[in-house]
Amino acid sequence: MQDEIIKHTEKIVKTAKGRNTLGEKIKEILVEIVVIVFAVTISIWFHSMSEEHHQREEAKEFLTDLNQDLNQDILLMETYSTRLKSFNRNLERINQYKSNYAAFKKLKINPLPPFINRETSTGEYDGFKSSGKIGYIENKKLKSSILKYYQQNMLRLANAEKFFGNLSVETSLRITDKGMESVIDNSNITRLNILGGISTEIVQVYDQQIKTAKEIIKEIEKETK
């Protein structure tokens, strides 16, 4: 394409220096200019089409990889949701037998809260976003859902998990240092019940985020067919 433009440009110069009349020169030069403009326009159009195709392919590859990250998130959230629910069930028994440790001990249940060590799978998202390519996703609804999932909801969830985890470790250390019978101490019961309230809220967020992740996965599958 560049060679063609050079050729027609040279022809314009040659025409301008030629012996034809001014009217003939203008006519020939205008024709060459039209040819050059058309050639440039076509070149830009093909380049734009190629770039858009490349961007769509990159977005498709990203979404395919993101699908795996989301499934990993779902698996981890379901795992920790199960642990928190188990803790809450045990906590109900602790409250029932808090005035009688001997009877509680016979239940043989773990009174200690779990420690949450879940991490959101952000590798693919962070890499794609930091490279400025998030705009390659043409589906605006899907793009908005992905941004909200990572930048808002999962960050809030991580903060809640961190608070729960810190209090969980502190409470567990207090109980184990004084002996398991200290689980029925008023201060420890209070701490455990606070953890129970937080864990209930976290489980609710897990349920919502699992639902959101599954909806995003469904949209991704439509986009990558």
Regarding whether 167 and 69 lie in a shared domain, the answer is: yes
In a domain, 37, yes or no: yes
What integer pLDDT is reported at residue 64 of this predicted model?
A: 92
Contacts of 23 (CB under 8 A, 6+ apart): none
Run of H or E including 203: helix 186-223
In a domain, 65, yes or no: yes
Alpha-carbon torsion 127, 133, 135, 139, what sign? negative
What integer pLDDT is reported at residue 8 of this predicted model?
A: 46
Q: Which domain holds residue 27?
A: 2-43
Count of domains observed in the chain: 2
Regarding whether 21 and 82 lie in a shared domain, the answer is: no
Q: What is the number of alpha carbons within 13 Å of residue 109 lying toward its C-beta? A: 19
What integer pLDDT is reported at residue 18 of this predicted model?
A: 56
Taking alpha carbons only, the member of 180, 161, 179, 154 closest to residue 83 is 161
Q: What is the mean pLDDT of each run of 10 residues along the chain (225 residues)?
A: 53 54 62 66 62 77 92 96 95 82 78 91 88 88 94 94 94 89 84 95 96 96 87
In a domain, 50, yes or no: no
Contacts of 19 (CB under 8 A, 6+ apart): none
Regarding whether 204 and 113 lie in a shared domain, the answer is: yes
In a domain, 181, yes or no: yes
What integer pLDDT is reported at residue 162 of this predicted model?
A: 95
Run of H or E including 27: helix 22-96
In a domain, 136, yes or no: yes
Q: ∠ CA 142-144-146 to the nearest 5 degrees?
A: 70
Regarding whether 62 and 39 lie in a shared domain, the answer is: no
Ordered DSSP codes for 136-157: G---HHHHHHHHHIIIIIHHHH
Distance between CA atoms of 172 and 178, rounded to whole angstroms?
10
Regarding whether 178 and 125 lie in a shared domain, the answer is: yes
In a domain, 168, yes or no: yes
Regarding whether 194 and 83 lie in a shared domain, the answer is: yes
In a domain, 84, yes or no: yes
CB 136 within 8 A of CB 58: yes
Regarding whether 95 and 18 lie in a shared domain, the answer is: no
